[in-house]
């Protein structure tokens, strides 16, 4: 009978929607609250589309048109199913404490950043083999088994991969995506530029803009490998280029020279590492990437001005206390009503204290102190 195969496929898809929606209930209540509204709405809308297909089959609509609709709906649902599975798996790993509480700190940091942007992420971080933002699923993965306090700034870069494309402007007859327009302009002006590199450099710019020096310090001290400093990949620019770009961004944000010590430390440690590896930067920020950084900063000031990091004076006050005070003193002072530290301030203060301290023992103490203060702040539900 005409349309029976199509009907069977649609009914199967409706069953899959119900099963995936039920699976989402396996996410614990605290984390489920971060995604429930968005996922429930998405499943409801896709389910309504599937049921509408059944109605159209009954009404005798031409099967060719309906098969095309079903194909498009299946593609949308594949992404939704993938996201649901990632979140269920990630929530289970977090419930088992495999992340040792790190993801909670990452979530709070991203909530702070997101709260200063016009876009809402509405998700939570999960463990993965590397930090990555999966655009198809909206999931930000944090590296396992990294999860140290020093790794926290890297999630700001991944958030940039979400926030940039999510910024929209009402263009009257159409919704404008300013970042996509910027990318199109860059491609026209420099067709040979590595397209994925522009996305990565945008995310580097975003992380430096919203978090200050902590991101560049994390990259130079812990994350980028001097051994391959001159070698980019298909998806990522060479570390030398990225450090040059991050340094340029921080220089532009450093009108009052408050970041001087942090910027100098970032460049010094990277220069030392690449000198040892024989991979020193011989080019700096070459074109068209210098112009791209200019365009990214213009984008930030035009669309994300409220997201610019503004807590460095707090960092200067907090950093020495991470070295000199014990946990009880830190937490005790934090308990007073007139003292509130944001996660972004704690992260920057930890990094500033680290670059001021010479020995490894001090570094471990600073990490413990900063993480303790961060965890206490989370427990007090600091906005």
pLDDT score recorded for residue 337: 47
Residue at a domain's end among 73, 96, 119 = 96
Q: Closest Cα partner for 103 from 36, 138, 157, 155?
A: 155
Q: Which domain holds residue 45?
A: 4-96
Per-residue model confidence as pLDDT tens digits over 263-295: 999 999 999 999 999 999 888 888 889 999 999
Q: Is position 40 within any domain?
A: yes
Lowest mean pLDDT among 21-30, 77-86, 187-196, 275-284: 187-196
Q: Is position 247 within any domain?
A: yes
Residue for token digits 């950043």?
113
pLDDT at 382 over 50: no
**pLDDT mean across residues, the chain:** 89
Q: Could you tell me whether strands 169-170 and 175-176 are parallel, antiparallel, or unpaired per DSSP bridges?
A: antiparallel
Structural contact between residues 109 and 347, judged by C-beta atoms closer than 8 angstroms = yes
What is the CA 60 to chain-centroid distance, rounded? Answer: 47
pLDDT score recorded for residue 383: 47
**88 and 14, same structural domain?**
yes
pLDDT at 175 over 90: no
CA distance 249 to 208: 7
pLDDT at 43 over 80: yes
pLDDT at 365 over 70: yes
pLDDT score recorded for residue 255: 84
**144 and 244, same structural domain?**
yes
Per-residue model confidence as pLDDT tens digits over 220-272: 999 999 999 999 999 999 999 999 999 999 999 998 899 999 999 999 999 99
**286 and 208, same structural domain?**
yes
Question: To 5 degrees, how large is the angle CA 76–CA 82–CA 83?
Answer: 90
Grade residue 334 by pLDDT with cuts at 50, 70 and 90.
low
**pLDDT (average), residues 316-344:** 75
**pLDDT (average), residues 104-109:** 94
**247 and 290, same structural domain?**
yes
Residue at a domain's end among 307, 330, 353 = 307
**152 and 269, same structural domain?**
yes
Give the 3-state secondary structure of residue 135. coil
CA distance 50 to 56: 10
pLDDT score recorded for residue 341: 86
Lowest mean pLDDT among 210-214, 303-307, 360-364: 360-364
Rounded percentage of the chain residues whose pLDDT exceeds 70:
93
Domain count, the chain: 3
Q: Is position 150 within any domain?
A: yes
Q: Is position 205 within any domain?
A: yes
Q: Is position 223 within any domain?
A: yes
Residue at a domain's end among 270, 286, 307 = 307
Q: Closest Cα partner for 365 from 317, 320, 313?
A: 320
CA distance 148 to 49: 44
């Amino acid at each position: 009978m005409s349309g029976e195969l199509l009907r069977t496929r649609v009914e199967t898809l409706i069953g899959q929607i119900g099963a995936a929606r039920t699976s989402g209930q396996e996410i614990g209540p605290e984390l489920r609250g971060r995604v429930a509204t968005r996922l429930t709405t998405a499943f409801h809308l896709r389910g309504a589309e599937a049921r509408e297909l059944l109605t159209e089959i009954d009404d005798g609509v031409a099967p060719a048109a309906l098969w095309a609709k079903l194909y498009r709906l299946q593609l949308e649902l594949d992404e939704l199913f993938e996201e649901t599975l990632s979140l269920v798996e990630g929530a289970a790993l977090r419930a088992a404490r495999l992340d040792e509480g790190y993801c909670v700190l990452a979530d709070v940091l991203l909530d702070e950043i997101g709260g200063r942007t016009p876009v809402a992420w509405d998700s939570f971080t999960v463990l993965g083999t590397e930090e990555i933002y999966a655009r198809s699923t909206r999931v930000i993965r944090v590296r396992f088994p990294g999860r140290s306090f020093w790794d926290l700034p890297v999630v700001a870069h991944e958030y940039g991969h979400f926030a940039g494309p999510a910024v929209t402007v009402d263009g009257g007859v159409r919704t404008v995506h300013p970042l996509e327009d910027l990318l199109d302009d860059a491609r026209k002006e420099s067709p040979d530029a590595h397209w994925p590199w522009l996305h990565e450099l945008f995310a580097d710019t975003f992380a430096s803009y919203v978090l200050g020096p902590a991101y560049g310090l994390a990259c130079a001290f812990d994350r980028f490998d001097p051994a391959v400093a001159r070698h980019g990949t298909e998806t990522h620019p060479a570390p030398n280029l990225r450090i040059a770009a991050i340094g340029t961004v921080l220089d532009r944000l450093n009108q009052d020279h408050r970041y001087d010590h942090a910027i100098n430390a970032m460049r010094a440690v990277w220069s030392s590492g690449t000198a040892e590896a024989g991979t020193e930067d011989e080019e700096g920020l070459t074109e068209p990437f210098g112009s791209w950084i200019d365009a990214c900063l213009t984008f930030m000031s035009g669309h994300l001005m409220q997201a610019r990091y503004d807590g460095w004076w707090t960092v200067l006050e907090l950093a020495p206390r991470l070295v000199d005070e014990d946990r009880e003193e830190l937490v005790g002072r934090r308990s007073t009503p007139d003292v509130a530290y944001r996660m972004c301030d704690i992260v920057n203060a930890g990094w500033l204290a680290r670059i001021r301290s010479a020995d490894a023992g001090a570094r471990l103490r600073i990490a413990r102190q900063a993480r303790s203060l961060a965890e206490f702040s989370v427990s007090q539900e600091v906005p």
